[in-house]
Structure 1
Amino acid sequence: MSLSMSQASVPVFVRGLSNLKHVLQKGQAHAKAKNVPDEVMLQTRLIADMLPLVKQVQIATDAAKGCVARLAGVEPIAVPDVEVTFDELQARIDKVIDYVKSFQASQIDGSEDRAIVLKMRSGELNFTGQDYLFGFALPNMFFHISTTYAILREAGAELGKNDYLGNR
């Protein structure tokens, strides 16, 4: 049995973002227990030249919403990067999960060879749909989810591998 593009994208993005939401909930509980304001925790970084926690979550959600939209051949919705609290980040994740789930398989399936062009600061990146999904969007989302996990873990949140994987 072959795996379709919708099967390889939508449920994977939804699970990853749902697990990210769980990790953030544990991070929020830790921050609250230690009397660390959301604004402080969300600006925490692993190292000075890395992006802070808030940007990690924003980029993870951008990867998911952008990928399914581009695979479907539509422009991704705009989700401004304005969050300053854990609750606002949770709402962002919920919005993106709902958006990702709104796509029908028929919109995404068959997009393996669709031309995907990303306009980056450094120039254009050109992909086929399949290469974009497996070589850019999924790894990008998981990198930023992993970094979020690492930032919260380093800050002292009680997180384990099962929190990341979603085995709860």
Structure 2
Amino acid sequence: MSFTLYDAIVPTLRQLLGALPGVIAKAEELVASSDCTDANLLEARLADDMWPLPWHIRACWMHSAYALDQLADGAFTPDFTAIPESWDEMRSLIADAEERLAAATPQEIDAIANREVNFVLGGETRFTLPGERFLLGFNMPNFQFHATTFYDILRMKGVPLSKRDYMGNPAGPMFEG
């Protein structure tokens, strides 16, 4: 059995993306049933020098759907615009990422493996990696960091979440009947 770059990336991204709407729903339930407000959650961050809650959904989108579109041209330039301002905007980014990943093919992802990818920030190339290392060593850890941080901020603010909420369906949406 061969294991492809697609197999290493896409199912896990889709699994974790698939869990995020449920995490958001639990946050909204807390707001509806307590004195916690949307603003208390949306403005929350783990530390003063970290991004607030909605940024982490933007980053999950950026390191999944946006990255796949960027990497086709051999460069990744982070997009720090359009930070979601509501639960619905976060859900929209998640849906967009899920749609893009569902459309990705093994051939498309595997074609990135040997292509050089430049990380460009502020118009300047900061580093270059083979596509496989970029996806596995940069994009995937960034995606997981931001998904985890989103979960952690909400957990810290009292949203009743478990590890299962973070993980979603281990079989992932690709294997649901």
| TM-score interval for Structure 1 and Structure 2 normalised by the shorter chain | 0.7 to 0.9
Residue aligning to 1:38 = 38
2:116 and 2:131 in contact (8 A); partners too: yes
TM-score w.r.t. the length of structure 2 is 0.83
2:120 and 2:126 in contact (8 A); partners too: yes
Query: Could you say what secondary structure the match of 1:110 adopts?
Result: helix
TM-aligned CA distance change 1:143 to 1:82, over 3 Å: closer
Query: Could you say what secondary structure the match of 2:128 adopts?
Result: strand
| Bigger mean CA offset, 100-109 vs 121-130 | 121-130
TM-aligned CA distance change 1:148 to 1:13, over 3 Å: same
Among all aligned residue pairs of Structure 1 and Structure 2, give the percentage whose two residues are the same amino acid.
27
Residue aligning to 1:95 = 96
Q: RMSD value over aligned CA atoms?
A: 2.4
- Number of residue-to-residue matches in the alignment: 167
Q: CA separation in 2, counterparts of 1:82 and 1:15?
A: 23
Describe the superposition over 1:45-89 as per-residue Cα deviations: whole angstroms up to 9, x where unpaired: 11211110011111111111133224444888x895242111111
TM-score w.r.t. the length of structure 1 is 0.87
Residue aligning to 2:152 = 150
Residue aligning to 2:7 = 7
Residue aligning to 1:65 = 65
Q: CA separation in 1, counterparts of 2:133 and 2:11?
A: 18
| AA partner of residue 5 (structure 2) | M
2:54 and 2:83 in contact (8 A); partners too: no
Q: CA separation in 1, counterparts of 2:74 and 2:125?
A: 21
Structure 2, gaps ≥5 residues long = 171-177
Q: CA separation in 1, counterparts of 2:74 and 2:118?
A: 12
TM-aligned CA distance change 1:13 to 1:82, over 3 Å: same
Residue aligning to 1:116 = 117
